[in-house]
Structure 1
């Protein structure tokens, strides 16, 4: 704590970090005492510290260590710590030299700067990155300019820290304002583009601060008003407000006006005794936000949710942006286009108000829009007009009947919706489970009685039932909650595709039947990474020898990009017997020490291993997954499939294969014996695997199951001894008569050589 204070208050500080009781450190200290006075003459503070874990706290490469701090920025001494004269020269050179244009910071200093500096730009780079140095040289041309605008510019090559905040590709630029990060996604090689972008972030207008009178005025005059209540003296308030400022412009596109207020009485009046808090007024009626106020995307989704923006029982007036969101969330939408200048419009609007409730009950959202240009885009040139949007058609249908006959309009809308008959077969219990396990391709729609959305979605899905049949996909529906629970389905409706009993959860819009159909066809024709639930994962961890699980979040661009890369190696993973799946479960992720998304966990017989490399490099991911050190399972013979066995035949000089059957009791006993010698065989350079495949046995002309076959450069020898005696098996495997191939000098490892010499 004293050290932090000294670094904060002094411009130039030399710090000696050491461990208490270290004899080498004591000798170094005796030497350093000789230059303490010279440092003081130069107004350089010289201090020492030996706190526990000080190397981790200050991100040091090791102890003892010597560091020079100039205005909190650190340089570590890399010379001989016993040569005090060289150290003194180094300290004075640093003291008198001009600092790097863009200062380099360590992890601790960067974290301090993020918390303390209001405007901070950080350039993240990797020492192995070829383009980083050239780009850094360009950016150093704007360092003085950013200083003039009150923006501190630093650089960091802490790759691990970058990964923790979601940066996997280098170089990268992040702008922090009051601790809130914004990632630059433009041309980082152009220093002018970067400079302009940084200034734009700094100049971004903050939300309006209002008083009590303005609040009451805005509540009465603005349709949508969001008020952020905060404490003026709370150090966390700038960060909270910055998060809200990031969505201010987008909220305005929806007609939502955001303001801020530090009136304690008003905050208390609207339910916030201990701000911060967010209150949303819709035509004077208010609701309070109870989510994470630091998650600006979540706040924006909440503010613009059609359910929250709907204020009355009347037909809702929306703008273009609001309508786009309603279209995404609703299957069927009826729009009445009108204009304030139109004489007929008020009367027609009054008529259709009478059928708003009936349309809503029929699953049709009814809105009104005053936008002539938008009406023209949908082919409407005369107002008023009613237009109907449905998911099965890109183009809307325009009503051509009498606009004064509300019942006729309602009948037309319901006819346009055109619900289909009940054609998807309903299955339950053992019959459904058997079909899932035995069917090659089956789509199961899980739904619940009394669920309006389930009914609406079912009507849409029934339109694609025949198409699924044409593509060889069986489509069924079920209300069997016990089967649903078994696959971790707890929210309805849900759609799960099974191929060979392996599940994959649909994560798109179920109401978009064409999207569903294309997804099902893709699952049938292409090998995709399956989306699974928690229960599915727990079952697969128990039953799958090699399982790679990709944890990710929705609405995460980097997650989607990485997923596309992983899809490219999915087939190759299959060759190595690695099953790759994906899951969206933040709570479960914490169990495996996952703090940031996305992440990859590799289960080997249930034992998890977290990938710590660059997920954007799918080839390095593949190499890590198939690396023998990562795949090796203690005291267990590796299970292979046919493709893996073919690969091993081509690559392994000495390969032992145990052919067995899952339903063979004797095989289990023999396996227990053979696993006693798996490690020893490995020491002799012999690869030992097992396979439960009748097809593979036939391919290699194996007649009896179980059988043990020794392949020496693909030349097979069948073991005809007692498989229950593992000591005799290992003696046979390492016998020169067995592994030797005629007319060829045999390659052996040290262990095999020792045995031969004996």
Structure 2
């Protein structure tokens, strides 16, 4: 009897533990999450906060989808509560659902709908944002001719730009929303895309440009949420003044532009350059004034004396002839 009771208690406890485990997603720390992102192919993270009703609703929805997502993707599905990493991926804080594909984050920006969540994650197993460089930009985009590759919505960024880092998950969401309509890409202004950035007059980052049919439209709106980007690319760009796409610069023109851009970003260099040029000019004038007159050589003196004698003899002979 005691053995039977012990077995029943053990089974009850096991079922209780299983039920508790099923009632919430596995919770991870920021360090554990970083390790998962680095090592696993697919990681789905729900960023939540303590005492957050919308977070609890989102977690319940993900619990219902967990088996489907594990079967379809083989993904890790975890939650990070009150994480310091949330601000890197979501401007609106918790709850935020982020899908990491080979470490590249995609922010889910849709409603709390199980079918839409499942479709979005399954349909975006690979990053949708293309990486463009100086070497492949014109070949892939053909923006100066408006040819066959379609429209391009491009983000210019740098590695040391914090706002740019926080935009990556949202920009991937923009790419996911627009990938059947246009190309979404990004260019590193600080490294592999420096010449391309100079070509389009990109001085500050993040900067966004829509290239459409041989024209370009600058996104100067302060709102950097997914829906604002998508609306601009689809229709709102018509309210912005278009500009002609400049042709690629020659190496010499690009060098000149690089120098001009450097002086714009470092205005103090103008003063240094002008002062240096002024000092050099004044020094040249002073050196010219203080330089001693060149001494005549003995040979030149003899030539001058002989030429003087010849001139005097010629003058005496002409006077005799006149007499």
TM-score by length of 1: 0.19
Structure number with the bigger relative contact order (C-alpha 8 A, sep ≥ 6) is 2
Larger radius of gyration: 2
TM-score by length of 2: 0.40
